[in-house]
Amino acid sequence: MKARTMPHITVACIDMAGTTVSDDGSVMAAFDAAGAEFGLVPGAPGYDVAMDYVRDTMGQSKIEVFRHVLGTEERAQAGNRIFEQAYADSVRAGLVSPLPGAAETITALRAGGVRVCLATGFSPATRDALLDALGWRPLIDLVLSPADAGRGRPWPDLPLTALIRLGGGSVAELAVVGDTPSDIESGLRAGAGLVAGVTTGAADADALAAAGAPHILDSVTGVLQLAGLAEGQVRLA
């Protein structure tokens, strides 16, 4: 899809896993580890339905996904704890890394006057462990989980909270970028002036288009042109 320049973006709310971060399948592996504690293993009744739901809701609040899949609050909280531990183990094992050009794109956005929030469906504890492993705290202005904003995706709370906390103007100045239909729906519900999907994560171009993505990018680096920043401002990895 041909990109077009968008005017006066001042705040960018950008997803983590699949958009700026590659996790080598660690998210799904962590869901598998959690499900196994409750008998949801390959071949067991309900396993395929549960994993289909996990894939379809990728990008949403993890605790909300577990509430749906596991049924009770007690089971959901236990499943979420197992998920977080399994994902943290992947982070410590070095299985999580920046996607090519992600850090440089964040740096270029900020150099161009755009304040950057990273948003995720992870809990604050999991999110912070990931940020520390990447060493990205100095790169960004804000990081948000659903617990910080009220509701996770596909609700608009995350991008709107980013806009408010970072002192942005109208929603026309807000950019939302992510790799899932839930990211796209969240940005559209927020009324963001720029909503873009990237094909480096959970969804392909067809799924992002079906979700209503006005822009579909091969990687997060494409947001620089959409935000009206000169190409080549930084050297992208």
pLDDT at 234: 45
Better pLDDT: 26 or 98: 98
Q: For residues 176 and 186, what is the distance between their CA atoms, to the nearest angstrom?
A: 8
> Band of the pLDDT at 2, cuts 50, 70, 90?
very low
Token digits for 176? Answer: 């939302």
Token digits for 68? Answer: 């749906």
The per-residue pLDDT for range 111-133, each reduced to its tens digit, is 999 999 999 988 898 899 899 99
Of 50-59, 144-153, 190-199, 224-233, the least confident: 224-233
Strands 174-178 and 21-22: unpaired
Topology at the third CATH level for domain 11-23+98-226: Rossmann fold (3.40.50)
Residue 230 has pLDDT above 80, yes or no: no
pLDDT at 237: 38
Domain residue extents for the chain: 11-23+98-226, 26-92
pLDDT at 3: 44
Rounded average pLDDT over 46-61: 88
Contact 215, 225 (CB under 8 A): no
> Band of the pLDDT at 7, cuts 50, 70, 90?
low
Rounded average pLDDT over 19-41: 90
Residue 44 has pLDDT above 80, yes or no: yes
Residue 149 has pLDDT above 60, yes or no: yes
Could you tell me the pTM of the whole model?
Answer: 0.86
pLDDT at 126: 86
- The rounded percent of the chain whose pLDDT value lies above 90 is 72
pLDDT at 60: 82
pLDDT at 117: 98
176 strand-pairing partners: 13, 195
Rounded average pLDDT over 214-225: 96
Q: Which amino acid is at 75?
A: R
pLDDT at 163: 97
Rg (CA), the chain: 17
Q: For residues 171 and 140, what is the distance between their CA atoms, to the nearest angstrom?
A: 20
Q: For residues 152 and 119, what is the distance between their CA atoms, to the nearest angstrom?
A: 9
The per-residue pLDDT for range 128-138, each reduced to its tens digit, is 989 999 999 99
Question: Long-range pairs for 185-188 at CB < 8 Å and ≥24 separation?
Answer: 185/153, 185/154, 185/211, 185/212, 186/153, 186/154, 186/155, 186/156, 186/158, 186/159, 187/13, 187/156, 187/159, 188/212
The per-residue pLDDT for range 183-206, each reduced to its tens digit, is 999 999 999 999 999 999 989 999
Rounded average pLDDT over 231-237: 45
